[in-house]
Structure 1
Amino acid sequence: MAPSAIPRLPDSTLAFRREGYTFISTRCDRLGTDLFATRLLLRPVVCLRGAEAAGTFYDPLNFTRENAVPRSAQHLLQDEGSVQTLTGLAHHRRKRLFIDQLTDRSEERLAERFAAAFDAALSRPDCRRFVLDTEVRAVLTEAALRWAGLEAAPAIVQQRSEEFGLMVDKAGSLGPPNWKARRRRVTTERWAAEQIARLREDGAGEDSASPAAAVALHRDDHGQLLPEPVAAVELLNLLRPVVAVGRFMAFAVVALIQRPLWRARLAEGSAEDELLFSQEVRRYFPFFPLVGGTALRRFAWRGHEFDAGDMALLDLYGTNHDSRVWRDPESFDPDRFRGWNSDPNTLIPQGGGDVVTGHRCPGEGATLGLISSAARVVGEHPEFEARIQDLTIDLRHMPAAPRSGVVLTRRQTPTSTKGH
């Protein structure tokens, strides 16, 4: 194979840890390219940025997610045998399981359950202060469990929400924090396996139409039930992403605090404005910084020849902020999505490509509905205000979050002085 013509940089592990979300795009801008080669943790990688790169990356003939994620992250976010690690027909069949559970009506039910639970949490007389970035996880966990057809007793909700939160927060960490989260995940998987076994034992019973039952009773290409550990992992892959949307919700409230005009617009109840706002939250704010892939075959792109087994990293955040696609990308402007052409490779906070044939997340519709519900419920509780706090979002920290956690505080009701 001829030497690659693309820029090659020395090991960038420390630079990536230091710069976070902007690591790839900064170098692409400086080098005048959409791809460059480097090493991360001593492993050779090719870093990609842009809509065309996303189209190449998410072509199922080109890359697979298998062996593309460090085990420290894979065990928390996907684990072995999950849908994200499969390719070809096996991936298509397993992916269909998730797509079938995320119909429009199912997504509406999830959003309705969340809205009811969130409203109830804010309406409690003893709720004086609500830290959105962390406390909303319990609300999302309750909604996800009820939507999936599982028990949602307070103790279960609290434990599962803590575990799901660790899976998301510590996926990008190394050492003791990651080890602790992975140990906690073992407990979560044990619980999930118990749910699978129970549903299988009674044939799913009254919950036969529930998403959890669909996972428990799903059969592979040979007509066999999934091994219990694999089914448990897929059940977590149905529930954990719902809880991860809490970060988007925190970002959405930051946007409402900093842009009161949009808070007023959303208060008018326009479904179109809610969609535009939620899409811009997903584009503008940092979710996952990048995604890894392993080349399936030898092919060339932009003067570089990939060999089977080569690793690539696609810049999700940088592609969502690419000035060649997005006008004034560093400005928060939901109106940019009015009349948007819906190109699947330009807006990729949850992956690109085709949702049916590729690895694009099938939960984007659910995410949009949940973000809209959160913004709506906050708007329906004007007794809560966002007092002066640090809403800075440090792009060097992965995953990023507002420093304050977005604190909503109930206004004090003036004490009556009548008769005094």
Structure 2
Amino acid sequence: MHPTKADSTVLLLAEGYTWAPRLLRRAGADAVRTRLTGRPAVLLHGREAVRFFYDEHHVLREGALPGPVLDTLFGRGAVHTLDGSEHRVRKQLFVSLLMPAGNVAALTDRFEAAWAAAVPGWAGRRVVLFDEAGTVLAQAVCDWVGLPVPADAAREIAEDCVAMVDGFATAGSRHWRARHARRRQEQALARAVLDIRGSGTHADGPFAPSHHHGVERSALTAVALHREADGTLLPPHTAAVELLNLIRPTVALAWYAAFAAHALHRDPAQRDRLRSEGFGYARAFAHEVRRFYPFVPFVGGLAARDLRFGEVAIPAGSLVLLDVYGHHHDPALWERPNRFDPGRFLGHEPDPAALIPQGGGDARTGHRCPGEDIALALLTVIARALAHLDFGVPEQDLAIPLHRIPTRPRSGFLMDDPHPSRSHAGPIAA
């Protein structure tokens, strides 16, 4: 296969989520060479590509993420940028916090409580679900981390986290809002870390360490006192980055909340099934939302050495990109992929090389997100919570533009007079 001579950066900016699948379709292959920002790149697709990409002998993360992405989405020094033993030690911190079932349940419990407290305030009003869900998620995850905040501060934190996600893949005002939001939240979290270590003044920003929940068991304490492979504490800024890598992805589930509402609006029968069939159907619904709706377009790393994928040579240091959006809509992998159908996940968990909204490989040791269990649990609860709300859907722009990364329904999903359904009784996670 011959390399593509033209740089694809302009096409990527114009086509968004459809760029990768279109490039692969034009090449008629599961691997195609191109260039991005002047750098040689290879775009991969398919189950074997997932296994290839998440093998650390093949693809490295250090140096792969450009500065603008680090300064908005992930943060400098984040676990996403590490490889080898440094990555394994830092990753274990996240595994210990995000994967135990008790910790997952503790966060979903906090979300349910925050949601139940918020819903009465929506009655009789027109609300934007995307904004309200983000605020509830921020309040729940900050409490879970050990930094409980009042509702007004939770809204500000949610707005900053949304700005970080919304501005990482673009230039202009969205990007600069993202940078300012990250700087503001990192500074506040660094103060909280220093307070825990006893080497700074008490946190005076929106975050104040919670002794009510038992600081010694909090995620805040775990991150503040985490030691690296060489036995040193994380620099306060890096600790703040990693705390934000617990908070920001949780708030980002607001995108999936808006997508879930979009799915319920397009197919009202889904609401009835979520109400009548319980947790198993809600989990399948959550899987399908993560597959069907566009969030991550592709992921990237650097070739660790000279490689081959099939017939395609990949020189050491090249960008290696894995198509995610096209993977989730490939008819070779999914029956009727452009149909929203939670039934495809009923009674079984998905193949980890097929459903990859949060990466592939082993979440405990590799670069698959260890927060996937939390994301799935929270989205399951959100789906049931939405199904048990009654609300009007006013005229609005529910288009989901695929040229925009990240995208969502343009309106954020407007709801009129949302209030609990009379048919609902009992906890939404039951």
TM-score (norm 1): 0.92
Work out whether residues 6 and 35 of structure 1, in 8 Å CA contact, stay in contact via their aligned partners in 2.
no
Are residues 1:31 and 2:39 paired? no
1:345 matches 2:358: no
Q: CA deviation at 1:407?
A: 0.7
> Residue by residue, what CA displacement relative to the aligned partner does 1:356-399 show, whole Å, maximum 9, x if unpaired?
221001111111111121122222222x2223322111111100
Q: Residues 65 and 81 of structure 2 are in contact (CA less than 8 Å); yes or no, is this contact kept in structure 1?
A: no
Q: Which of 287, 295, 315 is the equivalent residue of 2:303?
A: 295
Please give the secondary structure, in 1, of the residue aligned with 2:252.
helix
Out of 113, 123, 130, the position equivalent to 1:116 is: 113
Q: Write the distance in 1 (CA, Å) between the matches of 2:115 and 2:418.
A: 18
TM norm structure 2 = 0.90
User: Deviation digits for residues 331-353 of structure 1, max 9, x if unmatched?
Assistant: 10111113546322211111111
Q: Which moved more, 1:370-379 or 1:55-64?
A: 370-379
| Residue in 1 that maps onto 2:205 | none
- Give the deviation of 1:46 after TM superposition: 1.1
Contact 1:72 1:174 in 2 (8 A): no
Residue of structure 2 equivalent to 1:253? 261
Partner of 1:193: 190
147-156 vs 88-97, which moves further: 147-156
Change (3 A) 1:127 1:231: farther
Alignment correspondent of 2:427: none
How far apart are residue 76 of structure 1 and its match? 1.3
Which residue of the partner structure matches residue 89 of structure 1? Answer: 85
Q: Please, which of 382, 385, 393 is the counterpart of residue 392 of structure 2?
A: 385
Deviation at 1:148, TM superposition (A): 0.8
Shift of 1:176: 3.7
Cα distance 1:80–1:125, how it changes in 2: closer, same or farther (>3 A)? Answer: closer
The reply on whether 1:52 has 2:14 as its aligned counterpart is no
Across the aligned residues of Structure 1 and Structure 2, the Cα RMSD in angstroms comes to: 1.9
- Pair 1:163 & 2:171 matched: no
Amino acid at match of 1:16: L
Equivalenced residues, count: 407
**91-100 or 37-46, which deviates more:** 37-46
Q: 1:411 to 1:227 in 2, by over 3 A?
A: closer
Q: Which residue of 2 aligns with 1:407?
A: 414
Tell me if 1:314 matches 2:322. Answer: yes
SS of the residue corresponding to residue 45 of structure 1 reads strand
Counterparts of 1:212-361 in structure 2, within 5 Å, are 212-340=220-348, 342-361=350-369
Aligned position for 1:19: 15
**AA in 1 matched with 2:266:** Q
- Using the alignment, how far apart are the partners of 2:264 and 2:195 within structure 1? 43
Once residues 132 and 378 of structure 1 are traced to their aligned partners in structure 2, the CA distance between those partners, rounded to angstroms, is 10
Deviations 1:174-227 (A, max 9, x none): 134312321231111100101111122299963110111111111112222111
Residue 170 of structure 1, CA deviation? 0.5
Give the CA deviation at 1:7.
5.0
Confirm or deny that 1:398 pairs with 2:395: no
Contact kept in structure 2, 1:393 and 1:400, CA below 8 Å: yes
Rounded Cα–Cα distance in structure 1 between residues aligned with 2:264 and 2:82: 39
CA–CA distance in 1 between the matches of 2:122 and 2:344?
A: 40
* Alpha-carbon distance, 1:326 to partner: 0.5
Partner of 1:416: none
User: Following the alignment from structure 2 to structure 1, what is the Cα–Cα distance between the partners of residues 358 and 27?
Assistant: 27
- 1:101 paired residue among 93, 97, 104: 97
Which residue in the other structure is 2:136 paired with? 139
Gaps of at least 5 residues in structure 1 are: 413-420
Deviates more, 1:272-281 or 1:182-191: 182-191
Q: How far does the alpha carbon of each residue in 1:239-278 deviate from its partner, in whole angstroms, 9 at most, with x for none?
A: 1100011101110111111111111011015211011100
Structure 1 contact 121–127 (Cα < 8 Å) conserved: no
In structure 2, distance between residues paired with 1:58 and 1:232? 27
Letter in 2 for 1:193: A
**Corresponding residue SS for 2:325:** helix
Letter in 2 for 1:234: E
Match in the other structure for 1:418: none
Percent identity (aligned): 41
1:77 aligned residue: 73
Stretch of structure 1 that moved more, 94-103 or 296-305: 296-305
CA deviations over 1:21-75 (Å, ceiling 9, x no partner): 0111112122210111111222221111122111111111111222222211221
Q: Using the alignment, how far apart are the partners of 1:44 and 1:7 within structure 2?
A: 9
Matched, 1:150 2:160: no
1:40 aligns with 2:22: no
Q: Which runs of 5+ in 2 are unaligned?
A: 200-208, 420-430
